[in-house]
Amino acid sequence: MSDKVRVCIVGSGNWGSAIAKIVGVNAKRLDTFEDRVTMYVYEEMIDGKKLTEIINTTHENVKYLPGHKLPENIIAVPDVVDAAKDADILIFVVPHQFIRGLGTQLLGKIKPTAVGLSLIKGFDVAEGGGMELISHLITKHLKIPCSVLMGANLAGEVAEEKFCETTIGCRDMKIAKTLRDLFQSPNFRVVVVDDVDAVEICGALKNIVACGAGFVDGMGLGDNTKAAVIRLGLMEMIKFVDVFYPGSKLSTFFESCGVADLITTCYGAFFGSCAMSSNVLILFSQHTGGRNRKVSEAFVKTGKTIKQLEDEMLNGQKLQGPITAEEVNFMLKSKGMEDKFPLFTAIHRICTGQVKPQGFLDCLRNHPEHMQTFS
Ligand SMILES: NC(=O)c1ccc[n+]([C@@H]2O[C@H](COP(=O)([O-])OP(=O)(O)OC[C@H]3O[C@@H](n4cnc5c(N)ncnc54)[C@H](O)[C@@H]3O)[C@@H](O)[C@H]2O)c1
Ligand SMILES: O=P(O)(O)OC[C@H](O)CO
């Protein structure tokens, strides 16, 4: 790369907007980068005004990250090609179901020397029952190398500048420093590793496990049960990487993208507050944390479908866990391997109404992890 590095953020949802706060500040602060950072915004009308115009005048994404100012050098652009065509670094951060469509629009329209960085947690279903990593899909379609950034990073907390860590899985260590510098801040600490596929798979699979954690909360089971879900989920994540992407390192699962992301997504903060009314103490409590956990808890408590709850609870934000479970199941089924990943399989069946949430306990009880044999 020569001259100043130009950056484009492809996506402006909850995470895209939170990361724009950090990237915007760093691009302005560091001489290496061009100040102006473009952000592709999927255009929509909010109270009769275009979201891009609102962002460019008020510097707030009032729909997906209300209450937080974006740096003024973040420029919202409604056309993805206009936003991306001059960029040296393309940060992909859209819900994974939209990446194929955007890739098609960008084909042949970006700099051939550009590099990609995917913050997208999910998979793509390949023809014939296989699955493709989103970073591989970006490389295949756009002919650019693509690294990944995944971690225990609830967007709201990152936007509030609460301390956290993240993991960059970098394909080419020559650009590791540039990528690290673009994201690192006092409260967003970056560790770069070279085990790229495992980093990405951790980010995608933890969303399935988060649904399991939500079921446990919905059924009123305790923290011990949830810890079992997290542990069995982690074991299936490790096995998944071992079987389908052999050669990865166990240490990657101990980075922010692994165990730490599982914990933050499956727990989330529990906020309590109280008030006095007619001498009666009223307690209010609210679970925040990950959307997958939250919606899955409501799924058990209300009996509504995941789609209904996504529409009702998330104001346009998108769930990744249930569709990732479906994509993983599609592949496991086609390979006759559903029983090797019983937790992922049960979560998919519960999300799609094939099995009642109460059936999840049977899955935990009968998990192969408990079927030791002794000679
Ligand atoms: N939100 C988080 O806390 C968080 C943290 C880390 C990683 N992630 C991951 O980042 C990715 C993006 O998540 P997010 O939270 O920024 O998004 P989000 O859930 O807020 O999704 C909404 C976004 O999708 C856009 N959109 C809607 N329809 C579209 C279409 N047809 N084409 C293109 N875009 C469309 C909306 O305009 C909006 O920008 C996901 O893979 C997610 O798992 C999210
Ligand atoms: O809100 P979720 O469940 O999509 O999770 C958000 C992030 O992935 C947490 O790291």
What is the chain's mean pLDDT, rounded?
94
| pTM of the full structure | 0.95
Query: Does residue 1 register a pLDDT over 70?
Result: no
Nearest listed ligand to the Cα of residue 155: 1
DSSP-derived secondary structure for 142-198: H-S-EEEEE-S--HHHHHTT--EEEEEE-S-GGGHHHHHHHH-BTTEEEEEES-HHH
Q: Read off the pLDDT of residues 78-120 as tens digits, 9 standing for 90 and up.
A: 999 999 999 999 999 999 999 999 999 999 999 999 999 999 9
Q: Is 187 annotated as a binding residue?
A: no
Domains by residue range for the chain, with CATH: 5-194 (3.40.50.720), 199-370 (1.10.1040.10)
Q: Which of 266, 253, 180, 262 is nearest to 218 (CA)?
A: 266
Question: Which pLDDT value is given to residue 361?
Answer: 97
Q: How many CA atoms lie within 13 A of 315 on its CB side?
A: 8
Query: Does residue 280 register a pLDDT over 60?
Result: no
Q: Which of 371, 322, 372 is nearest to 347 (CA)?
A: 322
| Euclidean distance between CA atoms 183 and 166, whole angstroms | 9
Query: Does residue 275 register a pLDDT over 60?
Result: no
Nearest CA owner, ligand 1 atom 30: 98
Nearest CA owner, ligand 1 atom 40: 95
Question: Which pLDDT value is given to residue 283?
Answer: 46
| Euclidean distance between CA atoms 178 and 91, whole angstroms | 13
Query: Does residue 346 register a pLDDT over 90?
Result: yes
Q: Read off the pLDDT of residues 312-339 as tens digits, 9 standing for 90 and up.
A: 999 999 999 999 999 999 999 999 999 9
Q: Read off the pLDDT of residues 212-256 as tens digits, 9 standing for 90 and up.
A: 999 999 999 999 999 999 999 999 999 999 999 999 999 999 999
Nearest CA owner, ligand 1 atom 1: 15
266 lines ligand 2 (CB under 6 A): no
C-alpha 373 to ligand 1 mean position (Å) = 45
121 lines ligand 2 (CB under 6 A): yes
Question: Which pLDDT value is given to residue 236?
Answer: 98
14 lines ligand 2 (CB under 6 A): no
Q: What is the mean pLDDT of residues 62-84?
A: 98
Exposure b/e, 69-102, CB count within 10 A at least 16 = b: ebbebbbbbeebeebbbebbbbbbbbbbebbeeb
Q: Is 85 annotated as a binding residue?
A: no
Q: Read off the pLDDT of residues 164-209 as tens digits, 9 standing for 90 and up.
A: 999 999 999 999 999 999 999 999 999 999 999 999 999 999 999 9
| Complex ipTM | 0.99
Q: Is the dihedral of CA 362, 366, 370, 375 positive or negative?
A: positive
Query: Does residue 6 register a pLDDT over 90?
Result: yes
Q: Which of 210, 217, 219 is nearest to 358 (CA)?
A: 219
Q: What is the mean pLDDT of residues 17-29?
A: 98
| Euclidean distance between CA atoms 250 and 193, whole angstroms | 12
C-alpha 304 to ligand 2 mean position (Å) = 21
Question: Which pLDDT value is given to residue 272?
Answer: 47
| pLDDT-wise least confident of 24-33, 125-134, 358-367 | 125-134
294 lines ligand 1 (CB under 6 A): no
Q: Is the dihedral of CA 246, 239, 166, 92 positive or negative?
A: positive
Nearest-10 Cα torsion for 158, 152, 294, 160: -10
Ligand 1: nearest atom to the Cα of 154: 3
C-alpha 11 to ligand 1 mean position (Å) = 7
122 lines ligand 1 (CB under 6 A): yes
C-alpha 154 to ligand 2 mean position (Å) = 5
| Euclidean distance between CA atoms 206 and 148, whole angstroms | 15
C-alpha 48 to ligand 1 mean position (Å) = 22
Q: SS3 for 132?
A: strand
| Euclidean distance between CA atoms 21 and 293, whole angstroms | 25
Exposure b/e, 164-192, CB count within 10 A at least 16 = b: bbbbbbbbeeebbebbbbbbbbeebebeb
Which pair of structure tokens corresponds to residue 361? 């306990």
Query: Does residue 353 register a pLDDT over 80?
Result: yes
Nearest CA owner, ligand 2 atom 7: 154
> Catalytic residue numbers?
206
153 lines ligand 1 (CB under 6 A): yes
- The answer to whether the beta carbons of residues 203 and 168 sit under 8 Å apart is no
Q: Is 251 annotated as a binding residue?
A: no
Nearest listed ligand to the Cα of residue 119: 1
Contacts of 272 (CB under 8 A, 6+ apart): 283, 284, 285
Ligand 2: nearest atom to the Cα of 207: 3
Exposure b/e, 280-292, CB count within 10 A at least 16 = b: eeeeeeeeebbbb
Query: Does residue 282 register a pLDDT over 60?
Result: no
Question: Which pLDDT value is given to residue 289?
Answer: 72
64 lines ligand 1 (CB under 6 A): yes
Question: Which pLDDT value is given to residue 128?
Answer: 75
**Confidence band, pLDDT 50/70/90 cuts, at residue 276:** low
To test the ligand 1 pocket, which listed residue (9, 14, 100) has its Cβ within 8 A of the most ligand atoms?
Answer: 14
Q: Is 17 annotated as a binding residue?
A: no
